[in-house]
Amino acid sequence: MDKEIVKAIDTVDLSKPVPVSEPDRQYYFLKKLKAFVKEKEEEYGRKLTFHVTTFGCQMNARDSEKLTGILEYAGYVSVEEENADFVIFNTCTVRDNANQKVYGRLGEIKGFKKKNPHMKLALCGCMMQEEGVILKLKESYPFVDLVFGTHNIFKFAELLVNSYEAKGMIVDIWKDTDQIVEDLPTERKYPFKSGINIMFGCNNFCSYCIVPYVRGRERSREPKDIIREIEGLVKDGVVEIMLLGQNVNSYGKNLENPMSFAQLLQEVEKIEGLERIRFMTSHPKDLSEELIQVMKHSKKICRHLHLPLQAGSDRILKAMNRVYSKEQYLALAKHIREEIPDIAITTDLIVGFPGETLEDVEETIEVVKEVQFDNAFTFIYSKRTGTPAAAMENQVPKEIVKEGFDKLLKVVQDTARERVKLYEGQVMEALVEEVNEQDDTLLTGRLSNNTIVHFPGERDLIGKIVKVKLNSCQGFYYMGEII
């Protein structure tokens, strides 16, 4: 946790009025929360425990680190199990099964809550921004104590204090915001790598997607705030960062002094001690030549580009409001591979968008074969209420979707295996991330191109970059040895 921030919170005078401006207001509530937790510790004769459960994407993972930072500052200790004094679900709603998972877990938590009368349960994140969810929670899950959304997560300390002071469910959901609150405590999951938000929200309104509705309008952080945060992280031992945004290619457009994403990358590259830069996600419609050239000449930007295609048929792409054609995507991918031959291109694909036929899926398969994606996440279309696609009449029958999905998945997997095979026998740098989950004599590392390699080694190498020979390709990963 940032020592400067901790110092600022510790010096707050609780006898003074509650500050109005941020982050001072939250510092006030953090201090108050800490005093409250201490009181409870004395009352129970033990530490208070917490558990954060995260659903969804890297943005949510980063938000959960912010929640964790606040809870740890206040004196809660993290536990593995969901049976803790404070449990929070950071939810996702990109596909309906994400919502179903949350409702399923809530049932379980109800049992824990009956046994531990001190337990508090909070819900936050994208699903809370969705219409109808709050009503359902109030009706069917009244034992939830606190609910907030994506726009006011910075208010977590204040909301938690309110929730301890009040009875019943507290709900605070904002429709949108233009605020970005800096300098709140965060606690990283990995000491050596970290996500960094560079922008929030999305303005693209792909017709199937709920993200613009639950994450609000696009807003970019000031470059100086981003750089300062990364410099702090590097001082604290971070060697790899991932710049996060729903569409990083439109970074900086709405800043007072506009700056392109490629320019931001060049600034980040200058940070001494930082070894690797990743970013997520790029929309093909505005991936610039400037970005390709910056990647090509960079020593730190990883050889990986996640470039969601979604579908290969022009008719479907148009209905999806993706604003590029199959040919444009193919030309872009070809150009990127020519400029940066060792780059891995990965993608997201959707099967079953309204009106999609098996012939359309064939076009997606064609693109997969031609681009030779190094990896692809393949999703079944999920109808999200309130999006334009949900109102389209020609929803695809389940059996047709399944047929197309299975066919596409097979091609995606075969292609990915071929791509991994290409580098067998080579020596590459890997960032050692953890001890192998199945075999503790092995370490697991990540190559610049995002592929995983397992190799024998001591755990003190975790967080270091080592040279590894990729001895054998095992499907989607390698077995190797340090050289």
- The window from 71-79, 132-140, 154-162, 205-213 that contacts ligand SF4 (CB under 6 A) reads 205-213
- Residue 1, burial from CB neighbour count under 10 angstroms (0-12, 13-18, 19+): middle
Does 146 interact with ligand SF4 (rule: CB under 6 A)?
no
Q: Could you give the string, one character per residue 112-151, with x where binding to ligand F3S holds by CB under 6 A and - elsewhere?
A: --------------x-------------------------
Q: Are 448 and 302 in contact (CB under 8 A)?
A: yes
Quote the least distance from Cβ 132 to ligand F3S, whole Å.
15
Q: Kindly tell me which residue out of 205, 334, 335, 426 binds ligand SF4, with binding defined by CB under 6 A.
A: 205
Determine the Cα–Cα distance for residues 292 and 297; give it in Å rounded to an integer: 9
3-state secondary structure at position 148: strand
**Residue 322 · residue 310 · CB < 8 Å:** yes
Does residue number 377 form part of the binding site for ligand SF4 (CB under 6 A)?
A: no
- The reply on whether position 206 binds ligand SF4 by CB under 6 A is yes
**Residue nearest ligand F3S (C-beta atom):** 56
Among 70, 211, 336, 408, binds ligand F3S (CB under 6 A): 211
Comparison of 88 and 214: residue with beta carbon closer to ligand SF4: 214
* Nearest distance from C-beta of residue 127 to ligand F3S, angstroms: 7
The whole-angstrom separation of Cα 204 and Cα 408 is 26
- The site for ligand SAH (CB under 6 A) is made up of 94-95, 208-209, 211, 246-247, 281, 283, 308, 310, 348, 350, 379, 381-382, 384
Least distance in Å: CB of 420 to ligand SAH? 22
Residue closer to ligand SF4 (CB basis): 34 or 283: 283
Query: Which 41-70 positions form the footprint of ligand F3S (CB under 6 A)?
Result: 56-57, 59-60
**Long-range contacts of 232-237, Cβ-Cβ distance < 8 Å, separation of 24 or more:** 232/2, 233/188, 233/194, 233/196, 234/271, 234/272, 234/273, 234/274, 235/273, 236/191, 237/191, 237/192, 237/463
The nearer residue to ligand SAH, 238 or 376, going by C-beta atoms, is: 376
Window contacting ligand SF4 (CB under 6 A); options: 102-110, 130-138, 206-214, 451-459:
206-214
Nearer to ligand SAH, 184 or 264 (CB): 264
Phi, psi of 213 (to 5 degrees): -80, -30
Among 94, 121, 350, 371, binds ligand F3S (CB under 6 A): 94
Binding partner of residue 93 among ligand SAH, ligand F3S, ligand SF4, none, CB cut-off 5 to 8 Å per kind: ligand F3S
Q: CA neighbours within 13 Å on the CB side: how many for 1?
A: 21
Rounded to 5 degrees, φ, ψ at 199 are -155, 160
Q: Which of 19, 75, 212, 463 binds ligand SF4 (CB under 6 A)?
A: 212
> What residues numbered 277-336 form the site for ligand SF4, per CB under 6 A?
283
C-beta of 90 vs 260, nearer to ligand F3S: 90
Residue 19 is given by DSSP the state P
Spatial CA neighbour of 249 closest among 309, 212, 202, 206: 202
**Closest approach of ligand SAH to the CB of residue 417, in Å:** 22
Least Å distance between CB 213 and ligand SF4?
Answer: 9
Among the listed residues 409, 39, 22, the one whose alpha carbon sits nearest the alpha carbon of residue 178: 22
Quick one: what does residue 95 bind among ligand F3S, ligand SF4, ligand SAH, none, with the CB cut-off 5 to 8 Å set by partner type? ligand SAH
Q: Which of 323, 177, 304, 307 is nearest to 247 (CA)?
A: 307
Q: Which residues of 426-456 are buried (b: 16+ CB within 10 A; e: fewer)?
A: eebebbbbebbeeeeebbbbbbbbbbbbbbe
Beta bridge partners of 453: 445, 478
Token couple for 111 = 């049992």
The candidate with the shortest Cα–Cα distance to 18, out of 158, 152, 123, 191, is 158
- Is residue 201 near ligand F3S by the rule CB under 6 A? no
Q: Encoding tokens for residue 385?
A: 């209420």
For the chain, state the CA radius of gyration: 23
Binding to ligand SF4 in span 41-80, by CB under 6 A? none
- Which of 24-32, 133-141, 200-208, 448-456 is the region at the interface with ligand SF4 (rule: CB under 6 A)? 200-208
3-state secondary structure of 257: coil
Q: Which amino acid, 99?
A: N
How many Cα atoms within 13 Å fall on the side-chain side of residue 62?
20
Nearest distance, CB of residue 186 and ligand F3S, angstroms: 17
Which residue's Cβ has the minimum distance to ligand SAH? 348
Q: Which is nearer to ligand F3S, 55 or 261 (CB)?
A: 55
Return the structure tokens found at 467. 């040279």
As measured in angstroms, the least distance from the Cβ of 357 to ligand SF4 is 22
Binding mask 237-256 for ligand SF4 (x = CB under 6 A): ---------xx---------
By beta-carbon proximity to ligand SAH, the closer residue of 189 and 285 is 285
Nearer CB in complex with ligand F3S: 71/202: 202
Residues in contact with ligand SF4 by the rule CB under 6 A: 202, 204-206, 209, 211-212, 246-247, 283
Residues in contact with ligand F3S by the rule CB under 6 A: 56-57, 59-60, 92-94, 126, 211, 214-215
